[in-house]
Structure formats: structure tokens, C-alpha cells
Amino acid sequence: MPNVKRLESFLASRPKSFWMTLGVVLGAAGLWGVFRVASVTSKAEFSGYEATHPFFAIAGAVIDGDTFELDDGRLVRLLGINAPDRGSKGFDTATKYLTRLVEGKPVWLEYDRYQDDKYGRLLAWVWIECEGKPEFPPFDYMHLSNNQSKDGLLDNPQGCSQGRLVNEVIRRKGFAKSLFYKDRGELKYQKRLGS
């Protein structure tokens, strides 16, 4: 116990300015840590995000009119639309159409305010027939705070000016309805798909 008493004596003998300085130093270190973590989302340092959320892949099997597998087995759910479920009218037609669009073909995935769902599926805007490698806005482009968002995008990303947005094609052909949740904030291409 002599060490504990010495520590107590040492701490008690420190002036108030010592404790204030220590508080400022620890607070600054904490803020630095927060800003350091926030800076990880910069394009140069966010390679881990791309490993879990790829921007390019080959589409595998189609599950239904708004969901398909990537060649590595991960599932992708098209954002902003809802196609008929298995057993519902229009299921087969929507599924066959999405199969024609993507199965076995290169796809580019663009992410939005939320990137996955409770089933572990990637939620994405899916681009096909791009003439180059698309340059997407940062993954957190739409997020401001408290479910506020920037205005949606109307144009194709650079590098995909001739490409097609699969979510939009499926919606415009009548194989799916628009699906947006007001309480989650606006999505990038919400206006483009129609609410």
C-alpha cells in the first residue's frame, strides 16, 4: 500500500493549473482522434471500403427483378425500386428482364446514403455499358446530417455518359415501382426515378 499512498500524495500535491493543462491536452488528443478517423473517408485512404463495397464487378445469377449476385457471391439490391416478389404477378417478367440486362456482364456500383441492408445485401445504383471507368462522387456525397441531403443527381457520372442506370431502366419499363423512405433522406437519383 505504500505505492498507493505515494500516488495519492503526488496527485493531491498537483496545482489546479496542472489538472487544467492535463484536461486540455487530453481533450485535444481526443479531438485529433475524431478528426483522424473522419479523414479516413478521403478517397486516398478509403481502400478498405472498396474491399467490402466494390465499385466494379461481374454480375452473377439474378435472384429477382431487383436483386442479383456478384461473381464473388455477394448480393446486390437495386436502390430506389421494388420489383414484384416471388409468387406475385410480374415476378417472372421482371426477373428475366434484369437477367438480360446484367447477368454475366460488367457492372459498376454506386453507393448512396446507406450502403447495405439488414439482409447483408449491398444497396447500390447499378450502371452498365459504361465507356470507361466511372468517377463517382464520394460515397458520403448525399449525407449532410439528421437525414438531410444534397439535391439528387440527374446526370450520369463521368466515365459513364453513354451508360445506363439499371435501376432507372427497370423502373421506366414498368417492371418495378419506385421505393423511397422519407424518414431516411433523399437518395441521389430519386428525382430521376420519380417518387
Same-domain pairing of 51 and 67: yes
Angle at alpha carbon of residue 190, lines to 116 and 103, rounded to 5°: 55
**pTM for this one?**
0.70
What phi and psi, each to the nearest 5 degrees, are found at residue 66?
-135, 10
Lookup result for grid cell 428525382: 191
Same-domain pairing of 59 and 138: yes
Residues 192, 190: Cα–Cα separation, whole Å: 5
User: Lowest-pLDDT range, 44-53, 109-118, 180-189?
Assistant: 44-53
Domain of 117: which CATH number? 2.40.50.90
15 Ramachandran zone, left/alpha/beta (phi>0; psi -120 to 50): beta
Query: Which of the pair, 161 or 141, is modelled with greater confidence?
Result: 161
Lookup result for grid cell 463517382: 136
Total of domains in the chain: 2
Same-domain pairing of 116 and 144: yes
Domain that holds residue 147: 45-193
Same-domain pairing of 107 and 33: no
Average pLDDT score over residue span 150-166: 82
pLDDT at 46 over 50: no
Same-domain pairing of 34 and 113: no
Average pLDDT score over residue span 126-151: 77
Burial 35-69 (b: 16+ CB within 10 A, else e): eeeeeeeeeeebeebeeebbbebebbebbbbbbbb
Helix (H/G/I), strand (E/B), else coil: 39: helix
Same-domain pairing of 97 and 13: no
